[in-house]
Structure 1
Amino acid sequence: MAAFSDCPTVSANGILPRFQGMLEGVVSRMKRLLPFAAAAFACAFAPAAAAVKEDVAGYTAERSALAASLPVKIVVLDTRVRPQIGLTHRAIADERPRAPDVRAAALGAALAGGLLPALAIAGAERQKFHNWARDAFAPIKASGCDLRIDPSLPKAVSDAVRRSAWGASTPIETVFADGRGVDRAIEQGAPRQVVSLSSSLAPDMNALVTTAQIQAYAQTEGAPRWQREPVWRDELIVVSDLVEVPSKTQADIDRLAEQERARYQATGNAEKIRKLNAQGGGDRFDRKLALEAQRQHERNMEEALAGIWPLEVEKRMRADAWSANDCARMREAIDQAGLDLGRMLDALYAQQLPPRLDREAKPVSDDANGRHPHPLPGGIYVYRADYDQIPLGYRQDLLKVDD
């Protein structure tokens, strides 16, 4: 990316004198904003490895007495299940964005031309992903299956605290963030254990991903900034059983192809093209519309005849699966998240989780079958079945509840 000092500035030459001062003021403000815009775009589009914080140790049995003295604040970040937008990716272990990310290069070129082109590209890109997430989630929301998580997940946490060796009488409070961050939801100046909760659907709608981040703040020796720097931190993730999509059969292919042929025939576009050809091409505008309709038909036929479902069709099928039978699949996934989260908390407090991995470690594989905790670098544990490929790096960028 070009240095901002090398970026061309706007010239006011040729502008009427009474507008020149105004334009110069705008240009001056744009130049001051460019570094901040670059930082924001780097966070939004570049891999998040550069923004990774240093390791913080996790909970240990030696800290049980300290844990008993700290009130537990359960912060529900999102009271309802939300979809992940699937754009902003925060790296976990060696996970990478699902497809090669060319946005950073495009933004670099745009930034070299000034702030406004970069803002336009970033805004358009985000709006596109926002629309995809909203459309994929629409059947779930319309069916009332964006279920609440605030009754069950906080209870799973509080029950696990009560079962621990130190939590029988520890004060526990549940706080609803209501769109605020954790820092604004609870007081920052007091000793505390904070358990922040969120549950969202993966970008392809194929699993519910639930997160509990646990951070403890206490005044200990050698910790002058204890109000904001945790003494210990653990991150627990639960991935639901996957929603599988039936394979596309030859009967599906034949049915979709016939539907597309019938649709195109009903438009009368083929006859329109024949008439235009008989007229030697006809009106240029009419010819352009007819050719575009024909190209769309060809694209639709290619999609119908393909051996796999398009991604957007798969998302719709999964949304229908989440919503079927009075949201049975979603209810099951939320119940599963609470049970699995409770199991992981029990194991954490009893020091029975697999060995913790620091940020530089390599992910480990095991031969255990079924759903169980998997350690990931950075002190993260994910409860899931072996070999599932659900991405974990999109959990912090969710569609808003009113969208």
Structure 2
Amino acid sequence: SYLPLRRLHVYMRGVALGQNSELVEEETWVSVQAISERLVAEPLTAVVCRLSAELFRFLRNAFAGDPTNSETALSRRKLLQNVDYLIRALMEQRSKEPTDEEATVALRCGLQCFGNLVASWEASRDLVWNLTFLWSTPIYPALLSSDDSTLRMYASMLLHGCLLKGALLRLFFWSPCTAEVVTCLTRMMADVESEWSLFLLEMFLTHENSPVVFGKLPRQARWVVLDVAVEQVQKKDGQAVHADFLDHLCAFLQREFEDVVAVPHCIEEGKLEPIQVSKMLNVLCKASCNANFSNLIEPKQGLLKATLGVLKVVHLLGKSGNNAFTPAPKLDDLVKAEEADSDVDPRRNFKKELVRLVGNMSHRSRANQDLVRRVEGIALLLDVCNLDAKNPYIIQWVVLAIRNLLENNPENQEVVAGLVNKGVV
């Protein structure tokens, strides 16, 4: 093993190029481990980076082939510890010299090496997790925020492979850096299309501690998580989003809405986070019409009452003058709104989504139907039933909500029958 590094590089390159899906011989394992021990003893020069890359390529290809190779490597713990040491050394080198191409290439191969190992041999996940996350400073925050998109992708692939084991996912949620990692994943989602970061965010939403971490995320990271949640709650899988996460959204919106009802002018002063509230409302609207999640939302009468209260506030505010909630009743206004790309304004669709949530929560729920009647919500819904370019299809959603409120409810039917027509809607 004390051959010149350049000769070792030539040897290792030949071994890496010759490795395919076949079983690795014991003699080769002995040589590879000896080379890894030589590498960790050397300063990180360009030739050490190149030799490390060839070592990682050999292991990457071996782990992608015969599963016995992964099992053998797991029994050679010192070899895997050396791989972890080299990965960390390469990360430190890149932090000093971000343009160091040799270190970047070697680091990519190292992450692929571990990624293939955890994918091919489940028993390796504990050791790789301990090496990369538990026994020393976690490598993921730095890698997931790297300026190199390939490094970010390989790091997210490795993290996903480890967290497929439920016990490790639980450990991840107890880590001080969980919020930082999730924030990095949301940035990856926002900047580029990354399937591994999406898979990880979907996994995040299935855990009972997701609300705690969600509350620690910066604003834009929460928006991305909510966008993922919108897609998840539409799936047939009732485990796609944990009940505690939906409970958190319900409780948050109820508090926010109750504050608006108590101090109506706060909605004009921007104290309500419009984008976050709009996205949360969208998640609950989607969830409340999915049989797998509707039973979680339907019993929350405090949320229903607060939603009607906010609907009344914004409706009266829109009537009081020219503001963001003033309806745009003309068809010309509708065309102008579409041409102006009004989706940029989070208050667009707000009234419609409030109506939608009320309608969904009232579907075949006698308790909620009666609550809406008691707080005079039926008349309120009919009053907002007007053409509004800022709330497309609000008339149709009101009609559906009224239909749900009247179904098998004679008292509500009497309320509507007793209303007086005062003009064209």
Considering only CA atoms, is the larger Rg found in Structure 1 or Structure 2?
2
Task: Give the TM-score range, shorter chain.
Answer: under 0.3
Relative CO higher for 1 or 2, CA cutoff 8 Å, sep ≥ 6?
1
TM-score in terms of structure 1 length: 0.21
